[in-house]
Amino acid sequence: MPQPVPRIMLSAAGSGAGKTTMTAALLSALCSRGLQVQGWKCGPDYIDPMFHSHITGRPAYHADPFFLSEQPMAELVSRVSADADCAVFEGAMGFYDGIGQTDQASAYTVSQWLKIPVLLVVNPKGMGCSAAALCHGFQTFRTPNSICGILLNDIRSGMYNYYRELLERETGLPVLGYLPHLPEVQLESRHLGLVTPQEMENLQEKVRQAGGILTKTVDLELLEQIAGEAAVWKAEISEESEKIGSLKSLNYPVRIAVARDEAFCFYYKDNLELLESLGCEVIEFSPLHDKKLPENVKGILLGGGYPELYGKELAENQSMLESIRRALDDKIPCLAECGGFMYLHEEMEDADGNVWKLVGRIHGKTFPTGKLVRFGYVNLQRNLDEDQVSELKERMSIADSWILPDENIRAHEFHYWDSTDSGSDCLAVKPDGKRKWECIHMEENLVAGYPHLYYPSCKEFAERFVEKCRSGYRE
């Protein structure tokens, strides 16, 4: 049985406490000590892992208990972190915030499954003794729990001893240190979360500065000791899991064009690794800057991102638009999610009211709503009545085999834009089953819609995509 890597989780009472800033500073500080550090995000967010990767120089992954059950998550964490000195997990929202009004699929869930010691990040601004009540409440709300220390954020150095004495006396938890108010290292944000690392000016210097300060204000020796004392969990890595991420024996028979640039950058590393394990070679290209698709590609991935910020540039790159159109007309299989789905529309309206002509495969327009639309986790299933199910099972054609009637694939939605035609070939069903809506355009060579899909939750879906690419499907 492999020995789990030393590990620590940073969580908080809720969003806005400073988890991301504290995590970024901690990753930088640990890396500056010569450690190989593996970043993890407990939730579906794309942007925080991009920061983790930027700082550590290693791909970041998601430990998301809606997408993965306990054993597959343990296998993933064991495999990915095997060559690291420490794994740092950043919680999503508040520690106990899960699906609906429950702690299901929360950072707490991850900490229990993987036996991760947790440091609670607290911003005590405007609080005195109430800060202790907050921490004590989180200690006792669920048992067992692995909260074993506190980190303070955004406080004056002169107040640190006050809060440390108070919190250690009232909770029995060690306070490992603090970060002061750092306006000079502020991580800027926009509607989907933080601005991406590629866009942030002087990011490396900002993170290095924050890490240098944390090295002086946080007891890293104690933190590493806590991480190193994390309990062993049972995580036998299956042969199938070992195969994923090990590409030595592959001859890359299937070339997949993956859009990646300033406009398209939201991808789960787990998704790409699964495709690679099935025999794909990932070839990145830029819809913004390149003139056409890469040569000899057999499939296309158009991921999420911020195409709405680059409408003019995308619309003016006519040669790329035409290249995408020809590929789709030639029945090249394509998966398009959220921003990629927007790119396939006839028109896209940006936040300033400008309307841009794009690929045109999806009829209609995508437009801003000014608010989150259909936010959260969903299970995707085919939108079929009983007669359609029977008919499908009888003919089972390649055009209809993306998702079978008895299958579902887990996904999430998070977008401020909507479409005049979001599709109706699938149903997005909330985990509690109380709400559902139509979504997804599903054609013989195309799956396109707002949901972000997690392929390992339905490996058959990924296998069918690769097989369609491999077979060079033509009508």
Query: Which residues are marked as active site?
Result: 338
| 73: Cα within 13 Å, side-chain hemisphere | 22
Positive or negative: CA dihedral 186, 310, 49, 453: positive
Q: Residue type at 385?
A: D
Span between the terminal Cα atoms of the chain, in Å: 49
Q: Can you spell out the DSSP letters for 90-134?
A: EE-SSTT--STTS-TTSHHHHHHHHT--EEEEE--TT-STHHHHH
Task: Please tell me the distance from the alpha carbon of residue 85 to that of residue 403, in angstroms, as a whole number.
Answer: 40
Torsions phi, psi of 141, nearest 5? -60, -45
Q: Which two tokens stand for residue 68?
A: 């993965």
Burial class (CB in 10 A: 0-12, 13-18, 19+), 32: middle
Instruction: List Cα–Cα distances, 92 to 40, 104, 240, 399, 400, in angstroms.
Output: 11, 13, 29, 38, 36
Map residue 152 onto helix, strand or coil: strand
Task: Please tell me the distance from the alpha carbon of residue 450 to that of residue 411, in angstroms, as a whole number.
Answer: 10
Q: Which two tokens stand for residue 67?
A: 């997408």
Instruction: List Cα–Cα distances, 137 to 11, 178, 289, 321, in angstroms.
Output: 14, 21, 52, 55
3-state SS of 339-389 is HHHHHCEEEEECCCCCEEECCCCEEEEEEEEEEEEEEEEEEEEECCCHHHH
Map residue 201 onto helix, strand or coil: coil
Torsions phi, psi of 181, nearest 5? -65, 125
Place of tokens 């009211």: 353
> 159, 122 in Cβ contact below 8 A?
no
Instruction: List Cα–Cα distances, 325 to 334, 344, 345, 401, in angstroms.
Output: 11, 9, 11, 23
> 62, 76 in Cβ contact below 8 A?
no
